[in-house]
């Protein structure tokens, strides 16, 4: 199978860093585009008005900070890449992005930033694995 677009969820954790490195290698060998996607979280429904707008700006800025941390991953290589930020529940945002953008493969770390959540497999990774219709590669 030839992959054309590979999505990797990044959050700044060492597991995401490993997944991004692995995804870059797969993208390089396949001639695929690599999409680095940060999903900093969602805004609770109870937050409204100006506070909601400010929280959205803060989350967007945090997502950009995270994804910019991966800028050097592909710089200076032949790997084509894009950096994206999506607000919302991270698992839902990853699945939705994959469905809406023709992603062929999702690469994720086995855990994210929180070591307590998902002791065996990160909760975001677990949800993506069970909800997504495209192959998901989990990097330990």
| Cβ-proximal residues to 136 (8 Å cutoff; 6+ apart), any chain | 105, 106, 107, 108, 125, 128, 129
What are the structural domain ranges in the chain?
Answer: 5-139
| Cβ-proximal residues to 60 (8 Å cutoff; 6+ apart), any chain | 40, 85, 87
The closest of 20, 39, 40 to 95, measured between CA atoms, is 39
Separation in Å, CA 117 to CA 54, 70, 77, 113, 132: 27, 24, 35, 9, 20
In degrees and rounded to multiples of 5, residue 119 shows phi and psi of: -60, -40
Please tell me the predicted confidence (pLDDT) of residue 117: 44
Task: Give the percent of the chain with pLDDT over 70.
Answer: 91
Please tell me the predicted confidence (pLDDT) of residue 112: 53
As a whole number of angstroms, the distance between CA 98 and CA 118 comes to 22
Separation in Å, CA 17 to CA 43, 96, 122: 26, 22, 14
**pLDDT for 75 beyond 70:** yes
Half-sphere exposure of 54 (CA within 13 A, CB side): 5
CATH superfamily, region 5-139? HUPs (3.40.50.620)
Q: Which H or E element spans position 35? A: strand 33-38
Stretch 3-32: mean pLDDT: 96
Asked if 74 contacts 34 with a C-beta cutoff of 8 angstroms, the reply is: yes
As a whole number of angstroms, the distance between CA 137 and CA 140 comes to 10
Question: Rounded to two decimals, what is the model's pTM?
Answer: 0.88
Please tell me the predicted confidence (pLDDT) of residue 111: 67
């Amino acid at each position: 199978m030839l992959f054309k677009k590979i999505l990797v969820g990044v959050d700044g954790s060492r597991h995401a860093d490993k997944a991004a490195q692995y995804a870059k290698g797969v993208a390089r060998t396949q001639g695929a585009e690599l999409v680095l996607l940060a999903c900093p979280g969602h805004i609770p429904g109870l937050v409204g008005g100006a506070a909601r707008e400010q929280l959205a700006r803060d989350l967007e800025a945090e997502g950009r900070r995270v994804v910019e941390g991966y800028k050097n991953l592909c710089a200076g290589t032949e790997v084509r890449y894009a950096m994206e930020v999506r607000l919302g529940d991270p698992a839902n945002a990853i699945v939705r992005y994959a469905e809406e953008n023709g992603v062929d493969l999702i690469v994720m770390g086995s855990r994210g930033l929180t070591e307590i959540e998902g002791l065996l497999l990160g909760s975001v990774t677990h949800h993506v694995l069970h909800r997504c219709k495209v192959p998901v590669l989990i990097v330990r």
